[in-house]
Amino acid sequence: MPDHYAVIGNPIAHSKSPWIHAEFSRQTGQDMCYEAMLAPLDGFHVAVTHFRQRGGKGMNVTVPFKPEAYAISHRLTERAHAAQAVNTLTFADDEIFGDNTDGVGLMRDILFNLGFSITAKRVLLMGAGGAARGVVLPLLEHAPCILVVANRTRRKADELQQQFSHRGNIASVDYADLRGEKFDLVINATSAGLHGQLPVLPPDIFARESMAYDMVYGDDRSVFLQFAQQHGAGLLADGIGMLVEQAAESFFQWRGVRPVTEPVIEMLRPGRRSSSVPA
């Protein structure tokens, strides 16, 4: 019997994780299977319990269940604790072990795949929700000159600043405070783009060497990346690389083998995508 894994979320039909993990297991010769699992909005814990009872070894957790996965974990990594959210569950004996691989996935994509150093750079993080919280500590660990968190609801940005101020140089602002500022790296961790919206950003925050990174991905260039390109950002990246890298880190936690991510990222690019990849 192959070892059994799943990604759980709601909605889940368009998740690329089953395809990504199938590629990883094929590449590394691991005997495992990985499925997508839809849980009712009020049925996360029950679904996880059933999966464990059937012998499941681990799960990836996606929207909206990451905070609940954090709550049911018996042990947490430091990065999951900092994020207050779990995207990787590992089941061992009677324990649930919770990790969060989103931040390290973002870092690997920016540092290694895109070849962009964060150290001593001015970094702007847009958003202060779950997605932003998961990447603050990994960003600070790479010692930017400053990490500025901007959020529509200022209080949430202030909370992140207070939580992480002992880990590096971090500030919280309103979007309006960004006038006249320039950043080397601007990361969009808001969900505004999912509704075709964009926080009100001053147009002159990018320099020609600046990178604009949207944690969201899609076939079309996001509103944020369009804005960044129009206003002079020289480097644009969407979240496909982060998606594959966070999956690779989960895979490594479970199987102890690190898959090669580059060909998998390439295969997910629009235009390169094979028919077996979910749209």
Residue ranges that bind ligand ATR, judged by CB under 6 A:
127-132, 151-153, 156, 190-192, 197, 199
Residue closer to ligand ATR (CB basis): 14 or 208: 14
Residue closer to ligand ATR (CB basis): 27 or 84: 84
Task: Kindly list the catalytic residues.
Answer: 66
Q: Are 111 and 139 in contact (CB under 8 A)?
A: no
Least distance in angstroms from the C-beta of 248 to ligand ATR: 21
Which residue sits closest to ligand ATR, CB atoms considered?
A: 129
Least distance in angstroms from the C-beta of 201 to ligand ATR: 10
First to last CA, the chain: 30
Least distance in angstroms from the C-beta of 228 to ligand ATR: 15
Least distance in angstroms from the C-beta of 64 to ligand ATR: 8
Residue closer to ligand ATR (CB basis): 59 or 61: 61
Residue closer to ligand ATR (CB basis): 58 or 199: 199
Structure tokens at 198: 């964009």
